[in-house]
Structure formats: structure tokens, C-alpha cells
Amino acid sequence: MAVSVKIGDFTVGGGNLLALIAGPCVIESEKIVFNTCEKIKEITSRHKIPFIFKSSYTKANRLKIDSYSGPGLKDGLRILEKVKKEFDVPILTDIHNQDEALPVSQVADILQIPAFLCRQTDLILSAAKTGKPLNIKKGQFMAPEDMLSIAKKAESVGNKNILLTERGSFFGYHNLVVDMRSLQIMRNLGYPVVFDATHSLQLPGSQGSYSGGQPQFILPMARAAVACGCDALFLETHPDVKNALCDKDSMLPLDRLEELLIQVKAIDQATR
């Protein structure tokens, strides 16, 4: 069984309840972030599901130079800190270079290493040295068993609080597939595993200037991952998906979140 990681006042992994990591892809405005977090917390509290809020202050991997990428580090962290205090929730956000690790660690409870950057040694070491738990996303080009070497980089500086996230593998151009075996493979490495149910359904660059997606499969893929024994679900969600400024074709509409959580909670309870 995978070891557990303490996040705030709950624990991910080790046979504990399925946790949820959720929020808008990127911070678009303080209002959207607050409204989204308030609604997710209301739902997760009602269903007694541990909740970690996620949103990015910067999306550093946008395809086009003029694509919206967020408010930036300073304003983004200010908003995330307000969310943390207002709603009393742990915060997860991703970092993109070594210099971001320390300032982000002063606000976030979990530092996330993006999939495209999962092999960047200096980035992982800088994040690990903050002492904060890490969520390392498996690169679309990585085999699940190879994530052991990535996790060992963090452990080399004394940080063993590591989550590993599955978010699909490249399957030719503009397509991703999920091998559900990877969840058990990574869990057997000795770490709690997370399934990213929205990025796994992206169609990278398929719309020419931006990525498409297949959101109609979010619920069945989330159900399958929980049945396979993942320790947490990662979902990007938005109250107005059609007008979202990033990943609008793969985010879950906020008004469908409760339906999903009811289903996966039942599966989680049945498989324990």
C-alpha cells in the first residue's frame, strides 16, 4: 500500500478517504476563484470529501504568445492566500522555475511540478527543499515505473512527501490515452497516486491555436480511476466553461461536480 502524505488536517493515501484537488485551470479573476472555491467547498463538505483548492497564477506552457496565461506570481499568490484564509482550504499550485519555489511555498500547501517539466532536476530539488509536499505529474512521455527516479530526486534532499499524478500519455499527434495500469504501478512505487481526469482528456493543439478536449469522458474516466484505487482525483472546473480563458474544452462544468463526486465516492467506499 502506498504511504500517506499529510495535507492540512487530512491525509492523502494510506487507505484514507478519496481526496479532491479542484479549481479553475488558471486565475482569471478574484471573483471567479472565490465563487468556484466556495461552491466546491460547499459540495465537498456536504459529502465529507477532503478538498484541496487548485488554480495557477501562471500557465507557462500556452501554445500561442497571446494566449491568456494568468495574473502572474505576485497577484496570483495574493489571491490564493486570500482564498486559503477565507475558506480554510489547502492550496495547490504549480511552479515553473527554481526562483518560484520559495515564494510559492509561503502560500501553497502543495507545490506541483507540471508534466512537461517533471524531468527538470533543479526544479524538483528547489521545490523539495522548501519542505512542502510535492505533486509531481507524470510526463506524457514517461512510463509510470520511470517516475521512481523522479521521486528519488526529491527524496535526495530529504523530502518524502510526494504525490504522483497520472495525466495521460501521448498517442500520436493531438491525442492522449490513459493506461489505468499506471495508477497501480506508481502506487506500488510507494507513493499516493492522483488521477487528473481533465488534462487526461485534452487533445493537445487539436484546434490549431489551442487544445481541444473530450469532456464527455470525464465522469467515466474518473469512475474507472477510482475503481483502480487512486488516492485523489484532480479536476479542473469552472462556473462558465464556454467562456473560460484556458482549457475550456477539457474542464468540468462546475454544476456537474456534485454528480461526479457522488458517483466516485460510492465507488471509493465499495473498493476499500
- Give the strand pairing for 169-170 and 176-177: antiparallel
Confidence of residue 1 (pLDDT cuts 50, 70, 90): very low
pLDDT of residue 208: 66
- The CATH code belonging to domain 5-271 is 3.20.20.70
Give the span between the Cα atoms of 214 and 153, in whole angstroms. Answer: 34
Can you give the pTM of this predicted structure? 0.96
pLDDT digits (tens, 9 = 90+) for 187-207: 999 999 999 999 999 877 767
Greater model confidence, 163 or 205: 163
Residues found in the chain: 272
Provide the 3-class DSSP secondary structure of residue 152: helix
Are 191 and 162 in contact, with CB atoms under 8 Å apart? Answer: yes
Place of cell 500556452: 62
Neighbour-count burial of 157, counting CB atoms closer than 10 A to its CB (0-12 exposed, 13-18 middle, 19+ buried) = middle
pLDDT of 44 above 60: yes
pLDDT of 182 above 90: yes
pLDDT digits (tens, 9 = 90+) for 221-255: 999 999 999 999 999 999 999 999 998 889 999 99
User: How far apart, in Å, are the Cα atoms of 271 and each of 162, 173, 229, 267?
Assistant: 23, 35, 7, 6
pLDDT of residue 209: 65
- CA-only gyration radius of the chain, Å: 17
